[in-house]
Amino acid sequence: MKSSIWIAILFAVAATLWIASGQFGDAAEAPAGAPKQEAQAALPGVQFIVSEEQAHRRELTINGFTQAERRVQLRVETDGRVTEIGVEKGKRVAAGEMIARLALDDREARRAEARALVRQREVEFSASKQLAGKGFRSDTNLAQAQAQLDAARAALARIETDITNTTIRAPFDGVLNDRMVEIGNYVQAGDEVAQIVDTDPMLVVIEVPETHALSLELGDLAEVRFSTGETRNAVIRYIASVANSATRTFRVEAELDNRDGAIRDGLTAAVKLSLDSVPAHFITPSILTLNDAGQMGVKLVGQDNTVTFRPVRIIASETDGVWLAGLPQRARLIVVGQEFVAEGQKVEAVRSENFAGSYADGGAKK
């Protein structure tokens, strides 16, 4: 019994000595003079660029439509039968050009009659005036003769106006967009006979949100792109002073040169507007990240190599990058390794020499 106890004790002592010999053996194998300090984990490495704030002119693109500057429905001002058509639909017309003509019927005879009556009243008035001057006519008789002459002249003016109205003319240069009558049709005063549109200049109409309307001014330039891919420049000529009560947007009209007549009324157009300039940083989207709260931002590294997270807002995007607001004027942006470090963490930061996809460390974005 005692022998078994001693055997167990000997095994325990031997095991203890073997474990101790391993620890001391490692220490003995260490190089002479090696410092006895606690091993430290290496700091994570990141690369950064220095981004400088730039003035960025904000742009806004809104879909709109083209609209003729003027659109007029021509109506006849007298009755009659259409006897002549001057311009076919779709053709350009000059101001004063004949669109249609009505039959004169007895208007020429009535004008001749009115002219004869005017001559008669002129003679009667002249005679009354001479007699009144000699005291043989009263002032009342002279006034009556004057009134009859005035009435005759008015009747002549009416028939001459009626004759003039038998010819329907274009009120301005434009395009005869529609014609509602043909030769032989009978029309009455007030009937529509044609529609003329003025397509030069052409207007582009858009509805601008109230958040951007205050940034626009009359005379500002706008770029208009049509569905065909054609692009033309336009100038803002009208900004509504009152918002649309339903949409809370402001009507804006831009004017573009359309002397060639190529731009038609009613086309869809994308209008790019230049707004105010704001300070911003231009970066590649690949360095954007999210914090634990789900906020979008970027990670910066300070002079003390501590990581910070800055929430940002994208104010514009381009094919090769985005413009950010919310950063300091000069920022050390982490561009490599940002997904593997946390805010407040110390890092080994190295400035990137050849980071692709950003203008931040290689000059201003043009």
**Phi and psi (nearest 5°) for 179?**
-135, 130
Q: What was the pLDDT predicted at 211? A: 86
Q: Which two tokens stand for residue 267?
A: 């086309």
Closest by Cα among 261, 262, 257 to 203: 257
Cβ-Cβ contacts under 8 Å for 265 (sequence gap 6 or more):
66, 67, 68, 71, 197, 199, 202
pLDDT along the chain (366 residues), means of 10: 40 44 44 46 90 88 94 96 94 95 96 96 88 75 90 96 96 94 96 95 95 90 93 96 94 95 93 89 92 93 94 89 93 93 93 65 52
Q: Which CATH class is domain 46-56+279-351?
A: mainly beta
Q: What is the pLDDT of residue 37?
A: 46
Query: Within a 10 A sphere around the Cβ of 231, how many other Cβ atoms?
Result: 12
End-to-end CA distance of the chain: 95
Q: What pLDDT score was predicted for residue 290?
A: 92
CATH architecture of the domain 61-68+198-277 equals: Beta Barrel (2.40)
Q: May I ask the CATH class of domain 72-193?
A: mainly beta
User: Would you state the pLDDT for residue 138?
Assistant: 74
Cite the DSSP H helix spans in 289-352: none
Would you state the pLDDT for residue 361?
Answer: 52
Residue 2 is predicted with a pLDDT of 40
CA neighbor of 53 nearest in space, from 277, 273, 259: 277
Residue 355: predicted pLDDT: 67
Domain positions in the chain are 46-56+279-351, 61-68+198-277, 72-193
The DSSP call for residue 192 is E
Question: Same CATH fold, 72-193 and 61-68+198-277?
Answer: no
What pTM did the predictor assign?
A: 0.63
Kindly compute the dihedral angle of the four CA atoms of residues 129, 131, 133, 139, in this order, to the nearest 10 degrees: -70
Residues with Cβ within 8 Å of residue 278, at least 6 apart in sequence: 55, 56, 58, 315, 325
Say if residues 338 and 361 touch (Cβ distance below 8 Å): no
- Burial class of residue 33 in the structure, from the number of CB atoms within 10 Å of its CB (0-12 exposed, 13-18 middle, 19+ buried): exposed
| DSSP line for 120-137 | HHHHHHHHHHHHHHTTSS
Q: How far is CA 351 from CA 132, 302, 309, in A?
A: 113, 12, 18
Provide the β-strand partners of residue 239.
Answer: 252
